[in-house]
Structure 1
Amino acid sequence: MFFYSTAKPFCATTLLALGLTLTVGIAAAAAQQPSATAVATAKEVITAKGADGLYRPLVSGVIERTKIVLLQTNPMLSKDLNEVAAKLHADYATRSAELMTEVAKIYASRFTEQELKDALTFYKSPLGRKLVTEEPNILDQSMRTAQTWAEGLSQEIIAKIRVEMKKRGHDI
């Protein structure tokens, strides 16, 4: 969670889902090594569905969060830490590709090569592209709808609890 506060474009649920996906999937990926073709196709699927954008900012986020923590303990190091961070950004720019490969292996261990090819065909189709384009908005709207719904449900439950507690002689 070191990079959590710097990953502003992502909501907490996205990062949690990513963490759970990685945690659950690592054991399965280790048990069966997928073919290079399956991994390559899985990478294409990940890119086609727009999920590769989740991994790119992680390295930068870790570097920036580390810099911020170190600056809090010694603000006088600002110039040097900024220079070191800039160098690290350049040195570690390609590291997110490692994570992409590991995630692709997880996909490749869960789906056959043919299933991955079929998924890729779908995500490259007009409907698949529309899904990729619309899904973030649908998820945002769904979360807002769920939050509003839950607030209404909460008020309803509070009212029911108060009625039941009043029957028992408690006024809350």
Structure 2
Amino acid sequence: MIRNASRLAATSVALFMLASPVFAQQAPQPTAGQLAAANEVAVSSGLTGAFDAMTDPLLNQLQQMNVTRPEIRQDLDQVVALIRPEVDQKKKEMVDATAKTLAARLSEAELKEIAAFYKSAAGQKWVQLQPGILDAIVRDMAIWTQRTSEFIMARAREEMGKRGHQLN
């Protein structure tokens, strides 16, 4: 659940960056080389895994309808097989949009350097471990946020009490 939430958050951030009208007005057009390198970074870094994490469960959920209505199983399987390429095209659109976002912010040389990292053993290990690391960070951040909030309120109450004020 946390993994999906962190992937959803990453996807939401990416969508926000793409939708920014200020960014759209100021961004120079990326070169074909930048876009190619950016696409390689988007895929090899695992950024695009979030798109699978969004669409695959939707298709699986659609196929689960056959549990409650077994008489539609064959037709439902055919429909899922029929629309899967269309869903893959939708994911490709998002991969392209992600590549454009990366290309607008990084030079071709920087993108190639980043892509080289993701091709390395350390980069591949990072991509493999990153979802679990993000899950742990999100979990730890929730705990930290709660504790920090409690600390701030306790300290504020203490200091305000010294000044003759009571905070509820």
The superposition leaves residues 125-148 of structure 1 with CA deviations (integer Å, 9 ceiling, x where unpaired) of 122122222222222222222222
Q: One-letter code of the match for 1:36?
A: A
The 5 Å alignment of 1:8-87 reads 9-11=4-6, 12-24=8-20, 27-28=23-24, 31-56=27-52, 58=54, 86=80, 87=82
Matched residue count? 158
Residue matched to 2:129: 134
Distance 1:142 1:61, change over 3 A: closer
Q: Percent identity?
A: 26
| Inter-partner Cα distance in structure 1 for 2:60 and 2:11 | 17
| Inter-partner Cα distance in structure 2 for 1:127 and 1:25 | 36
Q: One-letter code of the match for 1:141?
A: A
Q: One-letter code of the match for 1:39?
A: L
Q: One-letter code of the match for 2:11?
A: L
RCO higher in 1 or 2 (8 Å CA, sep ≥ 6)? Answer: 2
Residue matched to 2:68: none
Distance 1:132 1:24, change over 3 A: farther
TM-score (norm 1): 0.66
User: Contact 2:14–2:98 (CA<8 Å) still a contact in 1?
Assistant: no
Q: One-letter code of the match for 1:168?
A: G
Question: Which secondary structure state, in structure 2, belongs to the residue aligned with residue 143 of structure 1?
Answer: helix
Distance 1:171 1:43, change over 3 A: closer
Residue matched to 1:114: 109
RMSD, aligned α-carbons:
3.9
TM-score (norm 2): 0.68
Residue matched to 2:69: none
| Inter-partner Cα distance in structure 2 for 1:29 and 1:131 | 34
More off after superposition, 122-131 vs 27-36: 27-36
